[in-house]
Structure 1
């Protein structure tokens, strides 16, 4: 037999030796402790759910309902389980690490400032920030994933008679505003009934602002929350009162021009006003659009004060759209944090400026975010649409940590993990320590040293499903992989850690039986990180799946943890069997 034919035979042998996963020894021993004569009856099962799975409030009747739900798994005796049936239960969707089915369970009657909100950045871009296409597709995909804040950058088209959505000053192609609005209307509440906030970056003339007002009003109709007051809100409304409503958030009309004039020096240069950027930049920085030098011809009508009545009428219509007013504050950190705390504000800063301000003003930022909304967005240098560590914003109570949803990778996996909490509705109540004040009016200090609050013990039993999901996982059906697991915690720096299992060679259903411990000081903000890779001696290790889960909602006991692909889509069959224990 030739060497080549031997390889073929070996490959076919490997493929057709695939079999059902064997029950790990620890699971067999556990079954024996909660069964009699090879069967787990309803009393045994109920006891197992209470003592091992931590479902101490589960009634016997509820346990029986769970057991009966497995009739579709060929259970011959509906009120008892064999060891194989018990193992199938452990690997089933009903034995998920989070509540199943997902449900909203946080208090949704607090002001919007009390929630982390699933927020997109430049939501219309399909790729990088410089040359990719603008499209409604990423907007639709984001909404279907539960994203609740959509960002649109509005610019006049070449004829200045219509509005385009695009990343200004770049080679990105435009998409029409009306198409984006219709896409939002049709998909806003597919994944969640809680409010969608549209943040508008406005680079329009008063006439086009009036056109935006007309478009938005006609598109959203009664679902739109409009402003009826000239003054700022005393407090934001709650998500419960805003179900299935659309909210516009942007600057008030002409604020962009007024701020630019006050912050920059103007000089005449042969009939052209050259607006130079001030050498003094506020600590909190500026939006990307403000960083460029502006050239405004005197004979252009873009910001002239002629036809005041027309402009005032347009401004009024546009202003009434704005239910959450975005504000640009000047004067540095004191101006931002010293605002009237009896009124509610919405402000923006990029990740770098948050990092600069946080070391000396961390507690003031936390206090500011107890009443106000803060949007943190990627720095300008992320032209590849990469993302940053979202905990930079979350630890300071920032509600709108804005991400490029068209990008992929570990940062976005963390974002997806955070918003798997609270039924995936896109609003996650901030932990109490970020919302409360102490007896001396003190607030949480992000830099403070904190004691360990809990320790999570994790046992990794095994993994299954890759041999059933070749199309999605892209593994070679004829070559069993060499899998290992990376597992750990993402959170505040002192809680963050990653550990790694041994490599199990040539096995579609690897069994590790390894245990790890993770002490945590702030489990309320922590996420469980899980990645599976295939070891490769000569090349980069292949990707085998990932997930991130909120520690605050993680169920104790033995759980089937479904894995997702690189883009965050759940695999059909791939999962790990893990045991969680909090001490």
Structure 2
């Protein structure tokens, strides 16, 4: 049994979970079935099955749960609210794209035991240090391999385990390590002995070599030796000797070494695997940028068709999609609004088979979740197809539900000469839509074009669905009530850069399809950069992307477009780039653009970065040293990955580059490459670097194993670990890459 699990028995909530409960699993108003749930002895795994399922059962890990919601806090539980009181209901929300689990207990006490118990397990998973995570990971593998459940593993079970763990190793070497760990010579390993075996198995020669380079006696790093390593290799000399002492106190497991102000190999490896040893500069993860500049000076994390969970022809629309986007730091969400049959506006992808949700339910959800991750403003991008009557209903819902959150008038009563800042608009929700007249009070009632993506009416017809102007009859007028709620994001048609220079107002915003944006970038990239210094631009995917695929957002960021809307529900390279850019600055959804994209006196061309004043290219040198515990792609027991690492650079056209290592045959456990990849970065302020690990296949396309993407400016040099993410962007510990990074001026 997990040694930590026994300590959890003191907790009454955990006791209830371990004893087990029959809970109703709810999928819809008509699908409500009892399932027996219990927390297994390891204190990590929740098991459940139907009474009629025979031996069949399901399990999930506590660490895979992101949050527990109490009461009717999901669409499914809201639909059965009359049948089951709120105090019996709760929802388990999982990381990534896994669907929620809606449950109903028999009593409020039982519901609370599970709610509080699961929250404690989540907290435990979130606060584990690297050693505890590794211990847990080893324990899980031990359980998987111990087929006869006797708490021991014989040599045959151990060899099977190694195949499961993604490693092919010489059997004589395994037997040698097995015998060394089997101190009692019983022919099997108990848990403690298995931990010892695992330590020998995972001895990392590449870390040991670095340690030896700085250790005088080969046993430990004295304080001054650790200082030398931090100064010479990690470029952290400016942090001073106190920094080395803090690292020893934080990561060294041996009290004896701590008392000597020294770090052993174990402590050194724990430091290298920690957030401080990560490739991402820790201080750049925090909110650190100036948030007092106009909104147009920031890239804004933005979602397209936010209501969809899947594709845009048949997929379900869901409130959960808004919650997931907001939790990822999204600050601009989209609502496609249509007339509902009962007078209540609905949201769905018009003229398709996507399901419909009520506008007012979305607004209620936004009120609840808009500011849980970030305090900075949320923009509601409204694609409006409603009659004047239902537009007025929309306006009433916005006012009544959001109250003071909704921005309904200019700040300080001043006519704006520039947009307010994210700081000025903290906790506020802004409406982006058409407006009668302008903020200054012009009251021209006439309105011809109405669709938000209105350049479609100008012959840029790259959409078979909602953006097609002939697809539905346009309303002729706006509701005054809805129009009055538009303040700083008035949707207008784009009449060209020359017209914008002479007529545009700071609070006007134009939307562009990806194809139109690409054409403008090609024809007049510098003009696009200049316009985006004082006005917002929104880019959205082509309507032909019926599978909800995404375009590469980098091209749009290169000309300073702020609201580059992506299908958040679709995993892949494009969302990796979005997540990578917005991971910095506290994941607040706003990233300050580089100076050359906000200073009106600087004329930047992404095509010609070398003509930029102060142009200084950098050389990025990445030694890909090794990989650790890469996940399996094919779950067959005998299948082992052949990993390779590819590094991709995204940025201005001159910076687009990729290079990769060779592949390692049959080793996802501890592959070693020791290969160096070199790049030249011409515009470091815009560059993103993506590390991808793939399973090489000479006969077909390589399979994805893991990735990590970050801005070039956020890279820490020296010996660093890259903690890999899944296709969904969620962590897959303990999978990582070990690299040595050098950045120098390119001459």
TM-score, L = length of structure 2 = 0.67
CA distance in 1: counterparts of 2:448 and 2:473, whole angstroms: 15
Structure with more contact order per residue of length (Cα contacts < 8 Å, sep ≥ 6): 1
Question: 335, 347, 354: which one pairs with 1:152?
Answer: 335
- Cα 1:204–1:70 change in 2 (3 A) is same
Give the superposed CA RMSD. Answer: 3.2
- Distance apart, 1:74 and its partner CA: 5.3
CA distance in 1: counterparts of 2:665 and 2:640, whole angstroms: 8
Question: 242, 246, 255: which one pairs with 1:65?
Answer: 246
Is 1:259 the counterpart of 2:436 in the alignment? no
- Distance apart, 1:76 and its partner CA: 4.6
- Cα 1:367–1:336 change in 2 (3 A) is same
Is 1:240 the counterpart of 2:423 in the alignment? yes
* Cα contact 2:466–2:543 (8 A) shared by 1: no
Matches within 5 A, 1:170-569: 170-228=352-410, 233-252=416-435, 258-260=447-449, 281=458, 289=466, 291-293=468-470, 303=476, 315=480, 317-329=481-493, 331-332=495-496, 334-340=498-504, 343-438=506-601, 443-448=603-608, 450=610, 453-466=617-630, 475-476=635-636, 478-507=638-667, 508-569=669-730
- Distance apart, 1:224 and its partner CA: 2.0
- Cα 1:65–1:360 change in 2 (3 A) is same
CA distance in 1: counterparts of 2:492 and 2:464, whole angstroms: 9
- Cα 1:286–1:327 change in 2 (3 A) is farther
- Cα 1:256–1:123 change in 2 (3 A) is farther
List alignment gaps of at least 5 residues for structure 2.
1-155, 166-173, 175-196, 438-443
CA distance in 1: counterparts of 2:575 and 2:450, whole angstroms: 37
* Cα contact 2:462–2:543 (8 A) shared by 1: no
Q: Could you say which residue in structure 1 is the equivalent of 2:111? A: none
Listed one character per residue, the Cα deviations across residues 521-545 of structure 1 (whole Å, up to 9, x for unaligned) are 1111111111111123444432210
* Cα contact 2:497–2:528 (8 A) shared by 1: no
Q: Could you say which residue in structure 1 is the equivalent of 2:227? A: 46
CA distance in 2: counterparts of 1:86 and 1:111, whole angstroms: 45
* Cα contact 2:559–2:606 (8 A) shared by 1: yes
CA distance in 2: counterparts of 1:573 and 1:278, whole angstroms: 48
Matches within 5 A, 1:100-179: 100=282, 102-159=285-342, 161-179=343-361
* Cα contact 2:433–2:486 (8 A) shared by 1: yes
CA distance in 1: counterparts of 2:470 and 2:163, whole angstroms: 65
- Distance apart, 1:228 and its partner CA: 4.5
List alignment gaps of at least 5 residues for structure 1.
1-6, 263-276, 305-310
Listed one character per residue, the Cα deviations across residues 27-60 of structure 1 (whole Å, up to 9, x for unaligned) are 4343233222221122222332222111232132
CA distance in 2: counterparts of 1:376 and 1:528, whole angstroms: 23
* Cα contact 1:34–1:45 (8 A) shared by 2: yes
* Cα contact 2:306–2:334 (8 A) shared by 1: yes
CA distance in 1: counterparts of 2:712 and 2:472, whole angstroms: 51
* Cα contact 1:119–1:148 (8 A) shared by 2: yes
CA distance in 2: counterparts of 1:198 and 1:47, whole angstroms: 52
TM-score, L = length of structure 1 = 0.85
- Cα 1:320–1:437 change in 2 (3 A) is closer
- Distance apart, 1:170 and its partner CA: 1.7
- Distance apart, 1:231 and its partner CA: 9.6
